[in-house]
A and B are shown apart, each in its own frame.
Chain A
Amino acid sequence: GEDVEQSLFLSVREGDSSVINCTYTDSSSTYLYWYKQEPGAGLQLLTYIFSNMDMKQDQRLTVLLNKKDKHLSLRIADTQTGDSAIYFCAESIAGGYQKVTFGTGTKLQVIP
């Protein structure tokens, strides 16, 4: 079955770049996602990348996909204290019905 793995915790200093990594096992994955969960809130979609793309950039966020190694990363430039949250990697196989498989989430702590 599908499996998505992430490290549980990352700590960075304010102003530095954060890189959150994720590996997945299903080579049929078509879409890969990053969700953000702030304290006391539900998950919010940050960005997603289609499997035929290597990179996607959206303001301070850069997503890199290495399909050969089944590795996905999220880079946050100039990390701010407001970026402190849990970041979930997820994947799905697009089709008539889409089931999204989530990782454990990486808790990002930004130190002022």
Chain B
Amino acid sequence: ETGVTQTPRHLVMGMTNKKSLKCEQHLGHNAMYWYKQSAKKPLELMFVYNFKEQTENNSVPSRFSPECPNSSHLFLHLHTLQPEDSALYLCASSQETGDNEQFFGPGTRLTVL
């Protein structure tokens, strides 16, 4: 498989559930990102990892917990979410954090009931 993949593609969860989003990139990149895409709002950068180290946390609530075990995998652990957290969560990667092009996965459509 090539490019950036994300699983699951769709997720419905209750506010008390715990779930995880997974992202995998097959491009040999060293930087990975989580973005939140909500309707009629700019794409919001949530977290940045460079060589497995978190370099940016964009004031994201602690109910979102990222994990980057290696340069190819990125997780977003979710717990006690709110309905306003419903959105499309996009993962992206780039060769380095200074690169001009980010490669995006198809996203996970999350609905919090």
Contact = CB atoms under 8 A, between A and B. Distances in A.
A111 to B, nearest CB: 22
Interface stretch (B12-20, B72-80, B90-98): B90-98
B42 A103 contact: yes
> Which residue among A35, A99, A101 has the maximum number of chain B CB atoms within 10 Å of its CB?
A99
Contacts of B55: 97
A42 B106 CA distance: 4
A31 B42 contact: no
A87 interface: no
Interface residues of A, number: 26
Nearest to A41: B106
A41 B104 CA distance: 8
B60 interface: no
A42 B41 contact: no
Interface of A: 4, 8, 31, 33, 35, 40-45, 48, 88, 90, 94-105
Interface of B: 4, 35, 40-43, 45, 48, 50, 55-56, 90-92, 97-107
